[in-house]
């Protein structure tokens, strides 16, 4: 009978369904190869490589994780990657050369178009076509990256524009450059505010919102290699001290901004409350792009000089793995999607107890009481093999298949009924 209970437990373990491990995908733009490396964020390995016609300027993953959108400035188009096939499923014409690509949590896609005037294009993700355009004003085309950022609640988009000052042309001296932050209401799809930055700012680079006051961090460029992120929430333009910044990302709890320093191969961690550097993480050569996973556990850093991606554990603020990709990985935008892919790996294993090797139970002159005889008043009756067999079979205690356990109980009752009365 003991072997029957052990067999039942074995059968039960085989029938318990396992949960599949959901994973996300990271899409890495390799500019010199004109490819996109697709990384499984669970295994932290490249699982596919997508060839493109030209080096994308930016890439972003939709909120549902099923699609990645990348901008192609030369052909004035937006490429669409189907995440289920890792192939380009469509190319959407744009009204001008697209640069920054943004995705909000509601599924909308926004593209910054470097025309005169600069435009913010809204892409219908379901129909995969342009559904609206918002004019942001004139800017100095060719002197800026035309990037942007979506606020954490998805209500606002900010796009920095480079313009001439009233006294000097920007083309003659950097002192003549001014930056306007254009704020767009995503629900109304219109420009709602313009913020004029201090005189210390020159050509703008990447931008990131900085809660709780919805100020922003903006890279101020002093050269083509990048510049120092400054906090602009209070219009003070306080520098944080990160040289050659080439990429910003806000972490999941909104308490830190991560800034890539392409000069010394590090990622600086900026405390958004105190606006100070709280840590520095060594990564690869010339980092030029960063994105935080949607669960907030990791950040992926694109090392353009060492053709790799550094995966930072945001709990320990240390690099936990390095992934080899194509040549010159460099991109802006949220290039990591949500955990939606079923990789067939168990996320949790059924609770197992080691089954002891069957041994002969010692003979007892006193009949072993049943569970109903020993249960305390008010205590629930135990199910399964609640009989003499329970004492001899410790592994047959809970969770067995009902038919087998009923058989155990009936067998024990029948055996007790055949015992002679003492």
Q: pLDDT in tens for each of the 422 residues of the chain? A: 555 544 444 444 444 444 445 689 999 999 999 999 999 999 999 999 999 999 888 999 999 999 999 999 999 999 999 999 999 999 999 999 999 999 988 888 999 998 888 999 999 988 999 999 999 988 765 555 678 888 878 888 888 887 766 655 565 555 556 777 888 999 999 999 887 765 544 555 666 765 444 466 776 554 444 455 555 544 444 556 666 777 888 888 888 888 888 888 999 898 887 878 899 999 999 998 999 998 899 999 999 999 999 999 999 999 999 999 999 998 878 899 998 876 543 333 233 333 444 444 444 444 444 434 434 333 334 444 334 444 344 444 444 444 444 454 444 544 444 444 44
Decide: residue 154, CB within 10 A, 0-12 exposed, 13-18 middle, 19+ buried. middle
Neighbours of 387 (CB within 10 A): 25
| 399: three-class secondary structure by DSSP | coil
Phi, psi of 417 (to 5 degrees): -65, -25
pLDDT computed for residue 381 by the predictor: 41
Does the N-terminal peptide bond of residue 117 adopt cis geometry, omega within 30 degrees of 0?
Answer: yes
| 51: three-class secondary structure by DSSP | strand
In sequence order, the β-bridge partners of residue 61 are 68
Domain coordinates in residue numbering, the chain = 2-17+366-417, 22-345
pLDDT computed for residue 372 by the predictor: 41
Q: CATH number of the domain at 22-345, please?
A: 2.130.10.10
CA 23-50-35 angle, to 5 degrees, is 115
pLDDT computed for residue 249 by the predictor: 87
d(CA 233, CA 57): 27
pTM: 0.71
pLDDT computed for residue 391 by the predictor: 39
Rg value, the chain, Cα: 31
| 110: three-class secondary structure by DSSP | strand
Per the CB < 8 A criterion, the answer to whether 205 and 145 are in contact is yes
CA distances from 62 to 7, 128, 250, 420 (A): 48, 12, 18, 75
User: In 213-346, which ranges are E strands?
Assistant: 215-221, 227-231, 238-239, 245-250, 256-261, 266-271, 276-282, 287-292, 298-303, 308-313, 318-324, 341-346
């Amino acid at each position: 009978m003991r072997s029957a209970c052990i067999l039942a437990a074995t059968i039960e373990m085989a029938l318990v369904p396992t949960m599949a491990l959901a994973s996300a995908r990271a899409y890495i733009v390799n500019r010199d190869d004109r490819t996109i490396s697709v990384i499984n964020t669970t295994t932290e390995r490249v699982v596919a490589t997508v060839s493109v016609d030209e080096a994308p300027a930016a890439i972003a993953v939709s909120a549902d994780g099923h699609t990645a959108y990348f901008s192609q400035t030369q052909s004035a188009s937006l490429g669409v990657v189907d995440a289920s096939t890792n192939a380009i499923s469509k190319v959407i014409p744009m009204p001008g050369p697209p640069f920054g690509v943004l995705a909000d949590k509601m599924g909308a896609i926004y593209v910054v178009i470097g025309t005169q005037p600069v435009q913010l294009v809204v892409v219908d993700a379901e129909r995969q076509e342009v559904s609206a355009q918002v004019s942001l004003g004139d800017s100095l085309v060719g002197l800026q990256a035309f990037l942007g950022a979506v606020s954490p609640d998805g209500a606002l988009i900010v796009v920095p524009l480079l313009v001439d000052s009233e006294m000097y042309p920007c083309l003659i001296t950097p002192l003549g450059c001014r930056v306007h932050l254009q704020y767009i209401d995503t629900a109304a799809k219109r420009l709602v505010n313009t913020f004029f930055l201090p005189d210390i700012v020159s050509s703008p680079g990447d931008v990131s919102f900085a809660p709780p006051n919805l100020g922003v961090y903006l890279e101020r460029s002093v050269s083509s290699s990048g510049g120092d992120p400054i906090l602009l929430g209070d219009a003070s333009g306080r520098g944080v001290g990160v040289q050659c910044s080439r990429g910003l990302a806000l972490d999941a709890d909104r308490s830190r901004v991560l800034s890539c320093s392409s000069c010394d191969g590090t990622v600086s961690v900026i405390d958004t409350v105190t606006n100070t550097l709280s840590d520095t993480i060594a990564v690869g050569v010339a980092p030029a792009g960063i994105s935080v996973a949607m669960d907030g556990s990791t950040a992926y850093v694109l090392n353009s000089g060492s053709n790799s991606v550094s995966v930072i554990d945001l709990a320990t603020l240390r690099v936990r793995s390095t992934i080899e990709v194509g040549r010159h990985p460099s991109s802006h935008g949220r290039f990591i999607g949500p955990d939606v892919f079923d990789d067939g790996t168990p996320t949790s294993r059924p609770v197992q107890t080691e089954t002891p090797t069957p041994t002969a139970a010692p003979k007892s002159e006193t009949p072993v009481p049943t569970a109903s005889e020993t249960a305390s008043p008010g205590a629930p009756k135990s199910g399964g093999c609640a009989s003499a067999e329970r004492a001899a079979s410790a592994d047959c205690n809970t969770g067995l298949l009902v038919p087998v356990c009923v058989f155990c109980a009936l067998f024990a009752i029948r055996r007790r009924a055949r015992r002679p009365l003492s």
